[in-house]
Structure 1
Amino acid sequence: MMKMKLLPLAICLASAPAFALEQGEYRLNYFGSVGITHLGGEDQGRSYGVSGQTTDSWRGDQLSKFGAQLTYGLTDTLGVTLQATAKPLQDEWQANLEWAYLSWQANDQLMVRAGRLRSPVYMYSESLDVGFSYPWLRLPDEVYSQVQLTNYEGADVVYTLPLSYGSVTFQVAAGQAKNRDYFAYDDLFSIDYGKLFGGNVSLATNDYGTFRVGYVEADISTTIDGVVNAFGTPTYRQLLELKKDKGKFTSIGYQYDNGTWLTANEWTTRVTENDNNASIDSFYLMGGRRFGDFLAHVTYAQLDENEGRQNSWTLGLNYNIAPTVVLKTEYKRVDTSGGYDGVFVRGKQELYENELFERSGGLAGVPARNYDGDIISVGVDFVF
C-alpha cells in the first residue's frame, strides 16, 4: 500500500504540477536508479537495448541514472521548472537538461507551458527517468525503443476537466527537436524533428484505472551511413536518408492499481515515410500483485516489423526497502524470428553481409539470423 500512496509523488517529479506554487516558493526533488544488467544465452559478444548497453558483461550504464527537479514560483500563477539528469549514452555519462520551461496556471483546469518539454510519445513519457513510478526496472524494450526522442523545444497546453467519476486531461503540444542523438547499427547519428505536433487524452477514473490515447507526428531528417568491408575494399554505404519525411506515432495505453492488483498495457504503431518499412507495431501486457512489501509481476511484449518479430517474457519481483526506495529484480527472455534483429544490435558490416547474401542468392555474404537471450537485471529506484 505504501508504494501506491507514493506514486503521485514520483509522477509529480516528472510531470506538469497540478497547481502553481505561490510567489517565492520552490520545490526541489531528487530521483534516480542504480542497477546492473547482464545478457546471457547463445549470443556471446552480442549487445542489446536502445543504445546497445546490455552485453554479456555485468554493466550498470544501461539502468543507472540520476536526476533533480526544481520548480520555483515567480508569481502565484507563473512558475519555472528545471529538470536535469545524468545518464550514460553508449559508454559515456552525459549531463542532460531534460526540462526547462515556464508555466502559466490560468486556473485550476488550464496550464500553458513553453520551453524544453518532454515529448508526449508514450504512456510513461512524463516520468520516463523516474523508475520509481513504474513497476519494471527496465521499461519494455519492444515499445520503448521505438522513438528515442525524449524532449523538444516548444509549447503545450494541458486542460483537466473534473468529472464525478474521475477526470479527463487533454494535452496538445507543438515544437521541434534539432541535433538529437540517434542510435542505429552500433553507432550514433544526428537527427532532426521538425514541425513536431502531438496530442493525447487521458481518462483517469476513481475505480477503473486510467485510459490514454496519444498521437505524435514530425518531419524527420537524418542520414544513417558508414563504411563497410566489401570484398576487402572499404566502401561507403548510405543505409537510410530522410529529408523532412513524415513520421507518425500512435499509442493506446491502460493502467490500473488498487494497491493489491495492478496492470499496465500499451500498444503502439509507428509509420515513417521512405524508410523502407511498413508500420512497426508493438505492445506489452503486464499484470502484478502485491504481497505486503513485495510486488510480483509478469509481462509479455511483442514487436513486429517487415523483417520479423521479437517477443519476450519478463518476470519481476520488487521489494520496498523504505517508503521511497524499492529494490527490483527481473528476468527477461527474448527471442526473434524471421531473421530479425529486433532490439539486438546489428552492426553495419553484418547488415551488409546479410543484404549481400540475399542479392547474390546465397553465393556470398551470410544469411540473416534469429537472436535470443536471457537478460537478468537487479537495481534500486528511489525518489526524495
Structure 2
Amino acid sequence: MKANKFSLAVLLTASITASQAYAVDNVRINGFGNVVMGVTSSDDTFLGYDDNPDFSNESLFALQVSSDISDKLSATAQVLGRGSEDFDVNFEWAYLSYKISDSLTLVAGRSRLPLFTYSSSLDVGYTYHWITAPSVVYNVPFNNLDGVKLSKTGYAGGWDYMVDVAFGQFKGTTLGAENRGENTALISGQISNETFTFRSVYGRTTNTIDLANSEDATAQALGNGFDSLEAAGFVDLADSLRIEQDTGEFVGFSVMYDNFDYFIGAEHTEIKTTNTFANDDEAYYVTVGARFGKWTPALTYENFESSGDVKYTAQIAQIASSGLPPEAVAALSGLAIGSQQSQLSDYSIVTASLRYDVTSGMAIKADISKRSDDVDDNQDATLARLAVNFVF
C-alpha cells in the first residue's frame, strides 16, 4: 500500500521533534537513516552506480511508530523514503502484534518476511558492518509479507532459539513487471549461544510475473513472445515458459561465529520456480572481520550463479516439425531457447570495508567492491562507497 507522498523535509522535521526515541501516551517513535555516496571507476554500472558520484541511489530515511493498545496488543507502522524513489514515502510495515504468552507472538498485517539473517534490520545499515547487506543474497523483490506470522522464542540446553511461521502474500517488481506471490508459506528457525548462531529457512509460494505488462522493453518483448508461441499453437510450451501460477521455492541457511573481538560468517540461498523459463538461482557470501575499539575492518566474498540450462527440448523440437515457414520456426525456437539461456549468470564480488563508530547510534563506513563476471567481461566493475548510518 502506498502512502501519500510526503516530502523529505516533512520527515526531517518529524525526526527533529523526535530526536530521541521517546514514549508519550504509550506511543514510541524511532527512526533510522543511511546516507550513501557511490561511484564506479569507469562508465560501467554496478549496483545502480556509474562514474558520476551518486548520493541518492542507496540513501534512505525512515520513521517507526509503535503503540501499546493493551497489555498484550500493540500496533507498529514504519514509513520509509528511498533516495532511488525521490524519497517518496511508503508504508514499509503496518501490523498488529498480539502477545499470546511471554514466548509466543502473533503478528498480522504487513511485516518483514524472515528470509535472511538480517531480514528484520535489512534497511538499518547501522546494525551490521557492511554499508548494505551482500547484494547477491539480499537483493530479492519480496522482503515484506501481507499476512500473519507466528513467532516462538525460548531457551533450551544452553541455546536461545526462535521459530517463525508465516503465511500470506507478497508483491514486488522483477524485470520491470509486477511479481506476485500468493499462498506464501515460510518457516524459519534460529539457535544461538554466546558466540555461535545457526539459522535455516524454507519458503514456498505460487508465483506470477506479468512480463507482457512490464515497464522493461526486453521483458515485455519476452512476454509478448510467449503469447506468440501460444497463438502459433504451442500452448503447452508457452505455459511451461511463462511464470504464471507456478510454484516457487526459497531455501536458505547461515552460520555466524562472533566472540566480540572478531567474527566470521556465511549465508547461502537457493531460489527456483518450477515449470518456467527461469533457471535455479544459487547465491552465498562469506564474511570475516575484527573489532579494534571503534574500528571494524572486514572482508566479504559473494558469489551468484544461475545455470542457463535449456529445458523443454522435446516441446521446442516440435516447432521445427510444425510446417511453419523457416523464419517463423527460427524466431519461435530462438525465443524458447534464448529466454532460458538469457538466465545464465556467474559472477563474484569481493568487498573490503571499514566501519568507524562515531558515537552510540552513528557510524561512518567506507568500502571498495570489485565485481568479476565469468560470463560477460563487460560486467566487470569496481565501486567505491562512503556512508553514514544512524539510528535514533
Is 1:95 matched up with 2:89? yes
Change (3 A) 1:338 1:113: same
Is 1:40 matched up with 2:41? yes
| Contact 2:297–2:354 under 8 Å retained in 1 | yes
Tell me the equivalent position of 2:142.
Answer: 149
| Contact 2:95–2:107 under 8 Å retained in 1 | yes
Tell me the equivalent position of 2:160.
Answer: 167
Tell me the equivalent position of 2:356.
Answer: 319
Change (3 A) 1:371 1:203: same
Q: Tell which structure's C-alpha radius of gyration is larger.
A: 2
Tell me the equivalent position of 1:219.
Answer: 206
Change (3 A) 1:56 1:241: farther
Q: 1: distance between equivalents of 2:137 and 2:198?
A: 17
Q: Cα offset for 1:39?
A: 1.9
Change (3 A) 1:220 1:55: same
Tell me the equivalent position of 2:169.
Answer: 176
* 1:210-359 matches, cutoff 5 A: 210-225=197-212, 227=217, 237-238=224-225, 241-306=242-307, 307-339=344-376
Q: Cα offset for 1:370?
A: 4.5
Q: Cα offset for 1:198?
A: 0.4
Task: Name the Cα RMSD after superposition.
Answer: 2.2
Q: Which has the higher helix share?
A: 2
Is 1:376 matched up with 2:365? no
| Contact 1:23–1:75 under 8 Å retained in 2 | no
Q: 1: distance between equivalents of 2:158 and 2:56?
A: 42
Q: Cα offset for 1:23?
A: 12
Change (3 A) 1:28 1:236: closer
Q: Deviations over 1:53-110 (max 9, x none)?
A: 2222111222211111122111111111111111134x53331211111111111111
Q: 2: distance between equivalents of 1:193 and 1:236?
A: 18
Comparing 272-281 and 190-199, the one that deviates more? 272-281
Q: Cα offset for 1:126?
A: 1.0
| Runs of 5+ unmatched residues, structure 1 | 1-21, 229-233, 340-368
Query: 1:256 is matched by which residue type in structure 2?
Result: Y
Q: 2: distance between equivalents of 1:23 and 1:218?
A: 41
Tell me the equivalent position of 1:28.
Answer: 29
Q: 1: distance between equivalents of 2:174 and 2:151?
A: 31
| Contact 2:45–2:381 under 8 Å retained in 1 | no
- Structure 1 counterpart SS, 2:147: strand
| Contact 2:189–2:199 under 8 Å retained in 1 | yes
- Structure 1 counterpart SS, 2:136: helix
RCO comparison, higher one (Cα < 8 Å, 6+): 1
Q: Deviations over 1:103-153 (max 9, x none)?
A: 1111111111111111122211111111111110022111112x2112121
TM-score by length of 1: 0.77
Q: 2: distance between equivalents of 1:59 and 1:76?
A: 46
Change (3 A) 1:236 1:313: closer
Tell me the equivalent position of 1:69.
Answer: 64
Q: 2: distance between equivalents of 1:254 and 1:102?
A: 31
Q: 1: distance between equivalents of 2:174 and 2:38?
A: 20
| Contact 2:211–2:223 under 8 Å retained in 1 | no
Query: 2:56 is matched by which residue type in structure 1?
Result: D
Query: 1:329 is matched by which residue type in structure 2?
Result: A
Q: Cα offset for 1:183?
A: 4.2
Q: Cα offset for 1:263?
A: 2.5
Tell me the equivalent position of 1:129.
Answer: 123
Tell me the equivalent position of 1:80.
Answer: 75
Comparing 161-170 and 104-113, the one that deviates more? 161-170
| Runs of 5+ unmatched residues, structure 2 | 1-22, 227-240, 308-343
Tell me the equivalent position of 1:190.
Answer: 178
Query: 1:113 is matched by which residue type in structure 2?
Result: V
TM-score by length of 2: 0.75
Query: 1:140 is matched by which residue type in structure 2?
Result: P
| Contact 1:23–1:76 under 8 Å retained in 2 | no
| Contact 1:338–1:370 under 8 Å retained in 2 | no
Q: Cα offset for 1:37?
A: 0.8
Q: 2: distance between equivalents of 1:106 and 1:23?
A: 25
- Structure 1 counterpart SS, 2:200: strand
| Contact 2:347–2:375 under 8 Å retained in 1 | no
Residue 106 of structure 1, aligned match among 100, 103, 107: 100
Equivalent residue pairs, number: 315
Is 1:204 matched up with 2:204? no
Tell me the equivalent position of 1:349.
Answer: none
Q: 2: distance between equivalents of 1:251 and 1:235?
A: 30
Query: 2:65 is matched by which residue type in structure 1?
Result: L
Q: Cα offset for 1:241?
A: 3.4
Q: Cα offset for 1:47?
A: 2.8
Q: 2: distance between equivalents of 1:189 and 1:92?
A: 20
